[in-house]
Structure 1
């Protein structure tokens, strides 16, 4: 009788191990199926869609995969601007030296070509600034953006390339 109980206990333990092994195999199988489905939908489908968008040539696909190479930055210094600015009390002066950042040599040539028009418009823009506004860092940032937009507008109006990335102050003095 004692032997019979031991045999039954051994069968129960063996059956329990078999259940665990089957459960683990099912989980591994489900993970493998999920990984295969993810690979198919994320990798294979996106490649098919990319080929449908283009003509399917491998050369075009290789170009699309390569990172875009950008031209080096070009820093072009403009002449200094000195203007009277609006302020309560004594007369205030603003002297600004700035550098235009671009990646296009044609923009530099256009800036040199249209210097009189650029100086006229930027002098008017700078003279309209208020001391209290320009005296803050937010005001300076806003002025830099206004100068960039003005330069872009001048070059566009003149029919020149206008790809200006940034306007940097190299000297900013208020008295």
Structure 2
């Protein structure tokens, strides 16, 4: 017979090398993309030392938003409370402590609503309650709760931080 031809299988190393190079290139590109995204997509606020500290304007605006301001209600509350021998006349002057000019504007805008809530609380007070320090403290906390509830209906946020009695007279 004829001479048998020997077939040699040559390894196809050229195609394997090309495939490995392509896979490595894709991995490098993906890794570089992820690294760039992580570096560029940082948080909204720059870290300290990065892009300097806050500017003076930002610090001033932040301080103004936290500043305590006082809204003095224009008229004192005058009402009668029942006492055993006779009725007593009570006069209370009220100021509201708020934080920031936005809350100050809201408190001034809704002054009639605040006055109505305070009259409701003050009308339930008794002479015994008003004669004691603990009773007046409770009246202040009840007034604060009533004002916060009234303003929460129109402002959807806590506007008033404290109700302060700037004048208190009972005769």
CA distance in 2, matches of 1:135, 1:119: 22
Counterpart of 2:155 in 1: which secondary structure? coil
Partner of 2:7: none
- After the TM superposition, which residues 17-32 of structure 1 pair with which residues of structure 2 at under 5 Å, given as runs? none
The equivalent position to 1:134 in structure 2, one of 121, 126, 130, is 130
1:72 aligned onto 2:67: yes
Cα 1:59/1:169, change in 2 over 3 Å: same
CA RMSD in angstroms comes to 2.8
Q: Is the 8 A contact 1:86 1:129 kept in 2?
A: no
Partner of 2:25: none
Partner of 1:90: 86
How much has 1:120 moved relative to structure 2?
2.1
State the Cα deviation string for residues 6-45 of structure 1 (Å, max 9, x = none): xxxxxxxxxxxxxxxxxxxxxxxxxxxxxxxxxxxxxxxx
Q: Is the 8 A contact 1:110 1:160 kept in 2?
A: no
The structure carrying a bigger helix percent of its residues is 1
Deviates more, 1:148-157 or 1:115-124: 115-124
How much has 1:61 moved relative to structure 2?
7.1
| Higher gyration radius (CA) | 2
Partner of 1:122: 118
* TM-score normalized with structure 1 length: 0.57
CA distance in 2, matches of 1:57, 1:113: 34
How many residues are aligned here? 118
Partner of 1:155: 151
State the Cα deviation string for residues 123-175 of structure 1 (Å, max 9, x = none): 12111101111211111111111111111111001235423221111100011
Structure 1: gaps of 5 or more residues: 1-54, 63-67
CA distance in 2, matches of 1:76, 1:57: 35
Structure 2: gaps of 5 or more residues: 1-41, 50-61
